Amino acid sequence: MIEEGQIVLFHFTQSDLKKGKLRPALVIRKTPGKYNDWLICMISSRTYQKYFELDEIINLDDDDFCDSGLKTTSVIRCCRLAVVEQSIFIGKLGNISLERLKKIKEITSKWILG
């Protein structure tokens, strides 16, 4: 069962619609309605890509890093969003803390609102 705050694996399509690599993504929220669609954001180990005050770094020494299932310090890319059907998730890695999920939702909301 997929839940908010989980880190899942799937093929994140590139912005030019070419099939991307197998990547981790953060499950942010289920979309309303009868479909099993979820809002997700990409996670990358390329921390230099972090946009100041928009993306979230999860470090090896963070309290929720071990539960995340990630292998190294990573950046949760709050501006790299997608809505996808649950069936494309290949697997689950772990979870982030509820506090971090709340912070990411707030950051993303502020960014969208401009």
d(C-alpha 29, C-alpha 66), whole Å: 22
Q: Of 9-13, 22-26, 30-34, which gets the smallest average pLDDT?
A: 9-13
Structural domain boundaries enclosing 46: 6-113
Q: How sure is the predictor about 15, in pLDDT bands with cuts at 50, 70 and 90?
A: low
Residue 17 pLDDT: 60
In a domain, 58, yes or no: yes
pTM score over 0.85? yes
For the chain, the domain total comes to 1
The enclosing domain of 14 has a CATH number of 2.30.30.110
Helix (H, G, I), strand (E, B) or coil at 101: helix
Q: How many CB atoms lie within 10 A of CB 113?
A: 6
